[in-house]
Amino acid sequence: MTLIGAVGALAFIIIGARPMRIGYSWAFVVGQGWGAVTLGPFVWMSEGSAQLQDMRLHEAGHSIQNCVWGMLFPFVVAIPSLISVAVSTGSAHRERWFERQATDFGYRYCNF
């Protein structure tokens, strides 16, 4: 996940995007109305999402989850999260354990 994120981040920096720091992560603002995705310590967020402190900390929490879960992260967190977004409505998605854990990690370790 980190290697894919690093390649994506490098591509964005080459085209002139400026990342912002969120906790221990680097975030890029891209487009509007689609949410966010985290690949290792790199985050891509829609403009509206980037304005929300809760969303920034939540995505930073996914970066920490990536460290905690390591090679299992795609299977334990990332893929279930994508499926949950696709099939759940708003609050139901946020109630999943992996989403609550991301929010908890973000607030606990990145809220400075």
pLDDT tens-digit series, residues 33-61: 888 899 999 999 998 888 888 989 999 99
In this prediction, residues 7-22 reach a mean pLDDT of 95
User: CA neighbours within 13 Å on the CB side: how many for 53?
Assistant: 4
**What is the distance between the alpha carbons of residues 6 and 56, in angstroms, rounded to a whole number?**
19
Res 2: pLDDT: 92
Tell me which residue range forms the domain holding 15: 2-110
Using the structure block, give the residue that is written with the tokens 């085209």.
Answer: 15
Res 61: pLDDT: 95
Q: In this predicted model, which residue has the larger pLDDT, 70 or 112?
A: 70
Please report, for the chain, how many H helices and E strands are present, in that order.
7, 4
Res 99: pLDDT: 93
Question: Across all residues in the chain, what is the average pLDDT?
Answer: 91
Indicate the pTM of the whole model.
0.87
